[in-house]
Chain A
Amino acid sequence: MDHGKIVELMSAETPRKKLPTYQVVISFIIRDFLIWWTYKFWLTLDISGNILFVATYYLFSLITSPQQIREAGYVTGGYFTFALIGIAFQQYVFFAVQSINQSVREEQVNGTMETVLSSATDFKVFLLGETCFFFIICSAFLFISFFVGYLLGATFTLSLESLLSVIVLSALLIASHMAIGVLSAGVIMKTKQGNPLTWVFSWLTQLVSGVFYPLKLLPWYLEWIGKLFPLTYSLDGIRLCLQGGQSLASPAVMNNIINLLIFTVVATPIAVYVFKLGYDAARRDGSLGQY
């Protein structure tokens, strides 16, 4: 291209208009998808890892007794179905908590954070856009896990009511954990470092939220700590629906939903406030572009 044309192109006045939120979010999804699609080998590895993980717990389930699972109210499917639900849905925790951190950190390291946030894009739209793609990917991995589990013999109590209830519980699971991710991203905005607290949160959740065993097996103090984590309520509700045939109409499931709602309503404004504090502090210091 002739240099005159390049100068002309740069000098041309482009009318700028504020795009609707959904268009910005779609742009984020397309951008992330295009980047992700270039790493096909990693994609294959992720899928293989997922399948191997499910298969490991299938083989482990062959030496377990279904007694404790049934006593906890999950009557259909035994240990394998129980663990499969735990494995598949805990990925959402990873998604919600880690993906926002990861995105913010990548933008910082790549030096694109300042550019993005100096544009007309609002930081809330930025956060939404960054997380939507990960949500789609994690949903795909959830279906892969369930499909592999189904082929290996996992059984569920399925009805329209129970499926709808699972969708509601999944939405609340994402919303409640998203708050933790946003809060942590706010800290990273200011500190420019990976946040070990998020990491501790992830493994503590796995330990006390009943991903691989019913909460009744924990000593009282760990069971009590488990009740502070939203994944505990999400998994219990989802299992009661898919392994116990219950739905939103059942008091036990409704109780879980109320607890998740309380957590989300309390945690979300706090998280957005902390993110805004970190964001404003970084803008004030002029350190948005630093990493």
Chain B
Amino acid sequence: MKVDQIIELFREEFPRSSSELKHTWAVFWANFKIFLSYRTWVITETLSTVASIAMYFFMGLQVDTNRFISAGYGDVTWLAFAIVGVSTANYLWMCISRISHSLQHEVSEGTLEPIVSSMIKLRSYIIGQSIRGFIVSSYFMVGTLLIGVLVLKAPLTLTVETLLSFIVILVMMIVSYAGIGIMAAGIILVYKKGDPMTFLLASITEFLGGVLFPLNYLQSYPILYGLAWAMPYTYALDAARRILLTGATLASPPVLYNFAVLVLFTLVFMPIGLRTFRWGMDRIRREGTVATY
């Protein structure tokens, strides 16, 4: 391309759209295309997911059925129990870490300043990135559940009612943690670090939430047991297991109770998250540190 042509290209007037919907779509599409270009990553992650489900299958062969049944989820297999735990835990953290991870990436690549200076509102940026996160995470979650049900014959109760109830609980789980994700993003904007905190929170949540073991076994440790029920994930996982393992729906009182607690967590965390994010954004603008890392 000649120099004149390049200069001409820069001079060309483009009609700029101020539609937030278009901005959100543009952010999503740009990032989704980047994701699709990492074919090796997608293949290795898929294979690794398959291997980990197979591993849980073999681990399940060592479970003492009587001890497991006495933990309170009825006559179900440990494999089904673990698959619901693992798939929801992975889904949650892939979604939540997406916002902080992408912001950290923009900071280190030096592209945050152009984004902030452009017409795109950060709200559109965050929603666009989140949609990309939901789609990628859903691929792995649905894959895990399908392999569990179709290949390993994990007995999950899949009806229209249970599936709809499960989706509602998943959405509430993500929304109740979105405040934490947005808060982490606000902290990253200022301190340019913060992913380690999300990582630690993920490890603690997975441990205390009872992904691989029934929570009744934590009762011997009252502090840990108390902490477990202070996290939204524990309620979301309990509801998801009641739905997919025992066929309960949103209309069942225990599931409805878990749903109500998730709504309560959302009402508490979301304003804190949004306020932290606004504080971070205002501060880096005032200090002129948008481009530093």
Chain A positions within 8 Å of B43 at CB level: 196
Contact flag A65-B212 (CB < 8 Å), given A204-B51, A212-B55, A218-B58:
no
B152 within 8 A of A: no
**Can you name 26 A-B residue pairings with CB atoms under 8 Å?**
A41-B196, A42-B196, A49-B203, A52-B204, A56-B211, A56-B212, A59-B218, A60-B59, A60-B213, A62-B213, A63-B64, A63-B71, A64-B62, A65-B67, A69-B62, A196-B44, A199-B48, A203-B47, A203-B52, A206-B51, A207-B51, A212-B58, A213-B61, A213-B62, A217-B62, A218-B58
Interface of B is mostly: helix
- How many chain-B residues does the 8 Å CB contact rule pick out? 32
Contact flag A52-B61 (CB < 8 Å), given A41-B196, A207-B55:
no
Most buried by B among A55, A68, A207, A218: A207
Chain B positions within 8 Å of A52 at CB level: 203-204, 206-207
From A56, A65, A200, A203, give the contact of B62 (CB < 8 A): A65
A38 within 8 A of B: no
B163 within 8 A of A: no
A134 within 8 A of B: no
CA distance A203 to B212 in the complex (A): 19
Q: Which single residue of chain B is at the shortest CB-CB distance from A83?
A: B59
Q: Which single residue of chain B is at the shortest CB-CB distance from A206?
A: B55
B214 within 8 A of A: yes
When the two chains form their complex, are residues B64 and A64 in contact, meaning their CB atoms are under 8 A apart?
yes
B233 within 8 A of A: no
CA distance A59 to B40 in the complex (A): 35
Most buried by B among A63, A69, A196, A203: A63
A290 to chain B, nearest CB (A): 20
When the two chains form their complex, are residues A62 and B40 in contact, meaning their CB atoms are under 8 A apart?
no
Chain A positions within 8 Å of B204 at CB level: 52
Interface of A is mostly: helix
CA distance A176 to B203 in the complex (A): 31
Contact flag A217-B212 (CB < 8 Å), given A45-B199, A196-B44, A206-B51:
no
From B48, B58, B67, B218, give the contact of A203 (CB < 8 A): B48
When the two chains form their complex, are residues A62 and B196 in contact, meaning their CB atoms are under 8 A apart?
no
A48 within 8 A of B: yes
Taken residue by residue from 35 to 71, chain A's Cβ proximity to chain B (1 for < 8 Å, 0 otherwise) reads as 0000001100100110010011001101111001100
CA distance A218 to B67 in the complex (A): 23
Q: Which of A191-245 contact B (CB under 8 A)?
A: 196, 199-200, 203-204, 206-207, 212-213, 217-218
Chain B positions within 8 Å of A196 at CB level: 40, 43-44
A133 within 8 A of B: no
A94 within 8 A of B: no
CA distance A42 to B200 in the complex (A): 10
A79 within 8 A of B: yes
A171 to chain B, nearest CB (A): 27
List 10 A-B pairs, minimum CB-CB distance, nearest first. A65-B64, A59-B213, A52-B207, A64-B62, A63-B67, A213-B58, A207-B51, A203-B51, A60-B213, A63-B68
When the two chains form their complex, are residues B61 and A68 in contact, meaning their CB atoms are under 8 A apart?
yes
Chain B positions within 8 Å of A204 at CB level: 51
Contact flag A217-B214 (CB < 8 Å), given A55-B207, A63-B71:
no
When the two chains form their complex, are residues B63 and A65 in contact, meaning their CB atoms are under 8 A apart?
yes
Chain B positions within 8 Å of A213 at CB level: 58-59, 61-62
Taken residue by residue from 246 to 284, chain B's Cβ proximity to chain A (1 for < 8 Å, 0 otherwise) reads as 000000000000000000000000000000000000000
Chain A positions within 8 Å of B64 at CB level: 63-65
CA distance A49 to B198 in the complex (A): 12
When the two chains form their complex, are residues A217 and B58 in contact, meaning their CB atoms are under 8 A apart?
yes
A135 to chain B, nearest CB (A): 24
When the two chains form their complex, are residues A200 and B47 in contact, meaning their CB atoms are under 8 A apart?
yes
Contact flag A217-B213 (CB < 8 Å), given A49-B203, A63-B68:
no
CA distance A49 to B206 in the complex (A): 11
When the two chains form their complex, are residues B200 and A60 in contact, meaning their CB atoms are under 8 A apart?
no
Chain A positions within 8 Å of B52 at CB level: 203
Please name 11 further chain A to chain B contacts, defined as beta carbons within 8 Å, in addition to the given A63-B71, A200-B44, sorted by A numbering. Answer: A48-B203, A49-B199, A56-B213, A60-B59, A62-B213, A62-B217, A68-B62, A203-B51, A207-B54, A207-B55, A213-B59
Chain B positions within 8 Å of A55 at CB level: 207
Chain B positions within 8 Å of A207 at CB level: 51, 54-55
Taken residue by residue from 180 to 218, chain B's Cβ proximity to chain A (1 for < 8 Å, 0 otherwise) reads as 000000000000000010011001101100011110011
Chain B positions within 8 Å of A212 at CB level: 55, 58-59
Contact flag A62-B67 (CB < 8 Å), given A42-B196, A203-B48, A212-B55:
yes
CA distance A218 to B48 in the complex (A): 18
